[in-house]
């Protein structure tokens, strides 16, 4: 299709997403750059390129790519969430929390972002705030396993072992398996 439509930013963006899905991050980045050469104001390509850069391990470049997307589209909740994930991976939890809150301000029903916010609070040992975030995520999307498992861990940390284990059983099960295998929860 790209041969027939060589100036299609959408097709280059799709090709980038396909390459990223195949973990061919360099090829994905090349496709996103081609899309941006055609249309430098294509925020989705910057955000998607940020994801590929993050998955490739280039966190600084990923953050810059998300910032470019946000310059073009300041109300891009997904870019704020993705930047928050990258900042969290980088260890900058305060900045991650700030980005998650910005995404939630734009889209209060963004369940995955509420869950990510809970994860960041969990890493800072702010269990009560983590509980609130996980509960909000689950109220928005009751089958969000990541939030259910996060809530279970937060309840365990709080000392509510029965409730915590019940939540972990409701989640995807991998965390409960790790707990039963003797791995500790910090």
- Region 74-94 average pLDDT: 97
Which tokens in the block code for residue 89?
A: 């991976």
The per-residue b/e assignment along 20-38, b for 16 or more CB within 10 angstroms, e otherwise, is beeeebebbbbbbebbbee
Query: Is the per-residue pLDDT at 179 higher than 80?
Result: no
**What is the per-residue pLDDT for 172?**
63
User: What 3-state DSSP class applies to 134?
Assistant: helix
Whole-model pTM over 0.85: yes
**What is the per-residue pLDDT for 4?**
74
**What is the per-residue pLDDT for 145?**
92
Count Cβ atoms below 10 Å from residue 110 Cβ, excluding itself. 23
Query: Is the per-residue pLDDT at 185 higher than 70?
Result: no
Average pLDDT, the chain: 90
**What is the per-residue pLDDT for 39?**
96
Query: Which are the contacts of 88, defined by CB distance < 8 A and separation ≥ 6?
Result: 96, 116, 119, 120, 123
What confidence tier does 184 reach under pLDDT thresholds 50, 70, 90?
very low
Count Cβ atoms below 10 Å from residue 174 Cβ, excluding itself. 11
């Amino acid at each position: 299709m790209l041969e027939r439509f060589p100036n299609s930013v959408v097709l280059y963006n799709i090709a980038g997403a396909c390459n990223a899905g195949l973990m061919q991050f360099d090829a994905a980045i090349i496709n996103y750059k081609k899309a941006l050469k055609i249309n430098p104001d294509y925020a989705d390509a910057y955000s998607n390129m940020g994801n590929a850069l993050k998955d490739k391990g280039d966190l600084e470049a990923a953050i810059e790519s998300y910032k470019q997307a946000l310059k073009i589209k300041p109300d891009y909740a997904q870019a704020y969430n993705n930047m928050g994930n990258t900042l969290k991976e980088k260890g900058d939890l305060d900045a991650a929390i700030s980005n998650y809150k910005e995404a939630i301000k734009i889209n209060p029903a963004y369940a995955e972002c509420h869950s990510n916010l809970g994860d960041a609070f969990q890493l800072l040992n702010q269990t009560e705030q983590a509980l609130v975030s996980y509960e909000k995520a689950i109220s928005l999307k009751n089958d969000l396993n990541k939030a259910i498992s996060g809530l279970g861990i937060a309840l365990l940390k709080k000392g509510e072992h029965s409730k915590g284990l019940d939540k972990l059983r409701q989640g995807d099960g991998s965390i409960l398996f790790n707990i039963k295998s003797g791995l500790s929860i910090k």
